[in-house]
Amino acid sequence: ASRRTRVITLLRRAQVVVGTQGRNTFAKMKVLKAQRIIAIPDGVEVTLKARKISVKGPRGSLSRDFTYMPRIDIHHDKEESKVVVTMYFSAKKRLAVLRTVCSHMLNLFDGVTKGFRYKMRAVYAHFPVNVNIGDAGEKVEIRNFLGEKRTRTCMMQEGVKIARDAAVKDCLVIEGNDIDKVSKSAALIHMSCLVKKKDIRKFLDGFYVSEKGVIE
């Protein structure tokens, strides 16, 4: 009888843990194995070692480091030309990392095969904004924003080029292979033209992303 009582007590301790606030917290269910498979596009070379991936394609090469993500295994199947991403003994919230890694890899494949393009439109009510772009497309200068005298200069990230849209007025086109650098360049332009000390519901002047996606 004493042995049976000890077994029941251990089972209860394993199932229910009494919290500091008196609430019962049940043990979380873990998924033994979760897996996703990514097909490698034609004309793309993948090098994978110790969760560090390098991708080479027609538009150039990109790399990414996934060593900071725990409990994840990335395998390159060279025979079937695919990448297998697996996680073991993970809780529900940690499983979100699996989809995140796959999305990063798909962005690498799109970057070296198609490239990414962001379009930004200038919005102004009274003072027209003057935009000057460098000869190499490495920087953009913004003048007369809200009638201010100072010139705002935004340098593009490495491998990112900016140009005017020939078909649309006051439209900037930002292109590059790395989606992180393209989006950061667009964010730098947007942040340089924020309205200060005024009601932003009334003063909507600035540069805003109107379109984004891969280069067709």
Residue 64 CA to residue 186 CA, distance in Å, equals 21
155-159: average pLDDT: 95
What pLDDT, in 10s, does the model give residues 12-59?
665 544 444 445 555 578 888 899 999 999 999 999 999 999 999 999
DSSP structure string for 79-136: TTTEEEEEEEEE-TTTTHHHHHHHHHHHHHHHHHHT-EEEEEEEE-SSSPPEEEE-TT
Amino acid 133 reads I
113-132: average pLDDT: 95
**pLDDT score of 205 more than 80:** yes
Beta strands 52-57; 60-65: pairing state: antiparallel
CB 141 within 8 A of CB 132: yes
| pLDDT for position 11 | 67
| pLDDT for position 5 | 82
**pLDDT score of 159 more than 70:** yes
| pLDDT for position 27 | 59
- Average confidence score pLDDT of the chain: 90
| pLDDT for position 23 | 55
168-189: average pLDDT: 96
What pLDDT, in 10s, does the model give residues 54-104?
999 999 999 999 999 888 999 999 999 999 999 998 888 889 999 999 999
**pLDDT score of 133 more than 70:** yes
Beta strands 171-176; 116-123: pairing state: antiparallel
Residue 32 CA to residue 89 CA, distance in Å, equals 5
User: What does pTM read for this prediction?
Assistant: 0.82
Three-state SS string across 154-205, please? EECCCCCEEEECCCCCCEEEEEECCHHHHHHHHHHHHHHCCCCCCCCCCCCC
Amino acid 136 reads A
CB 215 within 8 A of CB 114: yes
